[in-house]
């Protein structure tokens, strides 16, 4: 009997690469969509264990339905990760962020229906959970909390709006078309590099990256929801494989204030320059992964995640 085939969209990205690595290690045949399989930035995928015979890269674009159909054909499951993440101000958020996220997700889902895929796991984010000013301040945010779309638009939180819109549309499509859709909503992911880890890298260099619009005076002592990318990949596989998986799963190991994280890093790396001059506490929310843990999810100690992250920065020559 042939091994199960799974398609991972945006396979060359930070989170997706770890998901591809995990799937290959479990014996899956993986179809990975990338913009151009010949580009050097995707070479790491072909070096993964078992990639030579169990990984096939497809040239695809979220806005090109035909390319997605080709990649998803023959797969029993799809893990939809691809989504633009802004690292600078957007000049046209509708075109640069919202259209690829929303229209791209719908294209993936339609291709899944055509291929008779059994389950889709949509990789959302806590971005689609946490921005809800109507949520009671003293109540921990769980899967029933959704970011307020009008609020996100008014405050120009385009990434949060895109993830919220796309996830909502994914569930709506699944319900209307009989497609089994599950979502995993990770927090800031650490280990190796992407935008989340860029935050930590700058953090240990004593530099604060402004995440949300607005003036910043000093370093705001905000809450970070942190998860190791390896644990996030485990969560995705659980959501994909467990028959009882349904709905959304917040994937966060630690709710930690930036100031506390700085002190933790300082204790681990006393010679490293870390962020200082923190403002007042700004703990506007707290999230829980209780539902995911009931599915069987476990996570690493925070120290292990931080140490492995710093090691990876040094190995890559990004940190002295």
Cα 118–144–85 angle (5° rounding)? 70
The one catalytic residue among 41, 131, 163, 205: 163
In sequence order, which ranges of the chain are alpha helices (DSSP H)? 14-25, 43-46, 51-54, 65-72, 93, 99-114, 149-154, 158-177, 195-204, 229-241, 258-268, 290-294, 302-315
Give 274's Cβ-side CA count (13 Å radius). 18
CB atoms within 10 A of CB 139: 10
The Cα–Cα gap between 184 and 249 comes to 5
Contact 5, 28 (CB under 8 A): yes
3-state SS assignment for residue 198: helix
Please name the helix (run of DSSP H) or strand (run of DSSP E) that holds residue 184, with its range, or none.
Answer: strand 181-186
Say how far residue 124 (Cα) sits from the centre of its chain.
6
163 noted as active-site residue = yes
Query: Which residues are marked as active site?
Result: 163
């Amino acid at each position: 009997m042939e091994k199960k085939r799974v398609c991972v969209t945006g396979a060359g990205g930070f989170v997706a690469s770890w998901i591809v690595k995990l799937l290959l290690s479990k014996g899956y045949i993986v179809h990975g969509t990338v913009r151009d399989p010949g580009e050097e930035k995707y070479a790491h995928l072909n070096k993964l264990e078992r990639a030579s015979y169990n990984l096939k890269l497809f040239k695809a674009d979220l806005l090109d339905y035909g390319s997605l159909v080709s990649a998803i054909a023959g797969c029993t499951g799809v893990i939809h990760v691809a989504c633009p993440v802004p690292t600078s101000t957007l000049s046209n958020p509708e075109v640069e962020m919202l259209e690829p996220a929303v229209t791209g997700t719908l294209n993936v889902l339609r291709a899944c229906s055509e291929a008779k895929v059994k389950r889709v796991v949509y990789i959302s984010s806590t971005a689609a959970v946490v921005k809800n000013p109507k949520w009671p301040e003293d109540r921990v945010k769980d899967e029933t909390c959704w970011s307020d779309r009008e609020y996100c638009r008014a405050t120009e939180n385009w990434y949060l709006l895109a993830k919220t819109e796309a996830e909502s549309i994914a569930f709506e499509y699944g319900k209307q078309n009989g497609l089994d859709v599950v979502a995993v909503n990770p927090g800031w992911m650490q280990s190796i590099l992407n935008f989340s880890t860029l935050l930590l890298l700058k953090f240990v260099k004593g530099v604060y990256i402004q995440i949300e619009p607005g003036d910043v005076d000093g370093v705001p002592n905000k809450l970070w929801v942190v998860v190791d990318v390896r644990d996030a990949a485990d969560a995705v596989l659980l959501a994909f494989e467990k028959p009882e998986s349904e709905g959304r799963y917040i994937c966060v190991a630690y709710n930690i204030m930036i100031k506390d994280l700085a002190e933790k890093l300082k204790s681990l790396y006393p010679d490293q320059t870390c962020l200082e001059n923190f403002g007042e506490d700004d703990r506007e929310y707290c999230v829980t992964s209780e539902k995911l843990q009931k599915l069987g999810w476990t996570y690493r100690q925070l120290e292990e995640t931080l140490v492995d992250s710093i090691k990876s920065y040094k190995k890559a020559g990004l940190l002295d």
